Amino acid sequence: MKIRLLTHLTRWLSLFLLLATVCVPPVRAEDGAWKKAGRGMNNFVFGYYEMVLQARELAKTERWPTAISGGFFKGLFRGTLRTAAGVVELVTFPLPIPWGYAPLIEPEFVMEPAYPRASRWPDWGAD
């Protein structure tokens, strides 16, 4: 019974890998598969840090009891989403899903600001 189950699992895995190899367009290493794997691992490991970040963001506009409780629940929700996105990205890192290895959740990494900072240096070459 165990050998039969193992044989079936091996066949399905082989079929999946064959289809993944045939159906996916050729990909260069610099196209982002390894970045996607790193992003997935980062979001999987640090996803629940969103609870701290959301409480800190809410503390900028609200009093501390509201910031802690509201930030906890908002961070718990976003942390669950980010951790799930990390798992999906880890499992699918060799496949360009979504197209072009785009991130599933923004910001791309947990510690990244939601909006990029403006450059401190002027753009002297702009017309």
Domain boundaries along the sequence of the chain: 31-93+106-114
- Whether pLDDT at 27 is above 60: no
What's the pLDDT at 29?
47
**CA-CA distance, 8 to 10, in Å (whole number)?**
5
SS3 62: coil
Instruction: Report the C-alpha gap between 12 and 26 in whole angstroms.
Output: 23
Whether 93 contacts 37, CB under 8 Å: yes
CA neighbor of 25 nearest in space, from 94, 104, 102, 103: 94
Q: What angle do CA 28, 85, 30 make, to 5 degrees?
A: 15
Dump pLDDT digits (tens) for 102-116: 888 888 888 776 655
- The distance of Cα 26 from the centroid of its chain, to the nearest Å, equals 23
User: pTM (2 decimals)?
Assistant: 0.63
Q: State the pLDDT confidence band at 33, using cuts at 50, 70 and 90.
A: confident
Query: How crowded is residue 96: how many other Cβ atoms within 10 Å of its Cβ?
Result: 17
- Is 30's pLDDT higher than 60? no
Using one digit for the tens of pLDDT, what is the confidence trace for 36-94?
998 999 999 999 999 998 898 889 898 888 889 999 999 999 999 999 999 999 999 88
pLDDT at 19: 59
SS3 state at 124: coil
